[in-house]
Amino acid sequence: RFVVMLCKNKNLDWDIDMAKRFVRTYRDHQYHISLSPLFKEFLEEYGKDVVVLSNGQDEHQRRKFKSLQLDKYIPEDHLFPSGQIGVANPNKEAFLKVLDILGQKPEDWTYVGDHYVNDMLGASSAGMHTLQINRHHHQEGPAAEKVVYSEEECLAFIRSKE
């Protein structure tokens, strides 16, 4: 029903059967995801220095992490579903809690995300540097210190900061 209401809000003409098919298809495919070759290469070199904060229930996000094989590159204690820490983006406390667990200061970290409100506003309000990867040209704003539009640009910018 939520999907039908959402579609009506966006002026899409979906009935309950169409919404059920959509949800079923999403559930069937949500864990059939993989990292791009560019990000795999990057994580092979820098994964030990990467921390992941992802909105969602702990078990659901961890299944995504497993599908992406993040454990091959990123230490397990650097993977933080918001369901695990009890607070979600864009609440600045989500970012601060992760940094506190790791014994780190916000100003020493750059948060890379694709959602302006959840990622850029949240990380910026926590005092972190921000890099928005905006592949689909969605909302941007001043909380993103840098905006890039592709994986190549993202990784080139990160490497330029070494």
DSSP 50-106: --EEE-S-HHHHHHHHHHTTGGGTS-GGGEEEHHHHT--TTSHHHHHHHHHHHT--G
User: Residue 2 has which token pair?
Assistant: 């939520």
Peptide bond into 142 cis (omega under 30): no
pLDDT > 70 in the chain, percent: 92
How far are the Cα atoms of 27, 71, 110, 138 from residue 121, in angstroms, in the given order?
Answer: 29, 28, 13, 14
pLDDT band at 54; cut points 50, 70, 90: very high
Do 100 and 130 contact (CB within 8 A), yes or no? no
pLDDT in tens, 20-42: 887 788 777 778 899 999 999 99
Amino acid at 68: L
Largest CA distance in the chain: 51
Per-residue pLDDT reduced to its tens digit, 77-100:
999 999 999 999 999 999 999 999
Q: Alpha carbon of 143 to those of 48, 120, 131: distances in Å?
A: 27, 6, 9
Q: Are 129 and 110 in contact (CB under 8 A)?
A: yes
Q: How far apart are CA 98 and CA 113, in angstroms?
A: 15
Q: Answer whether residue 5 shows pLDDT above 80.
A: no
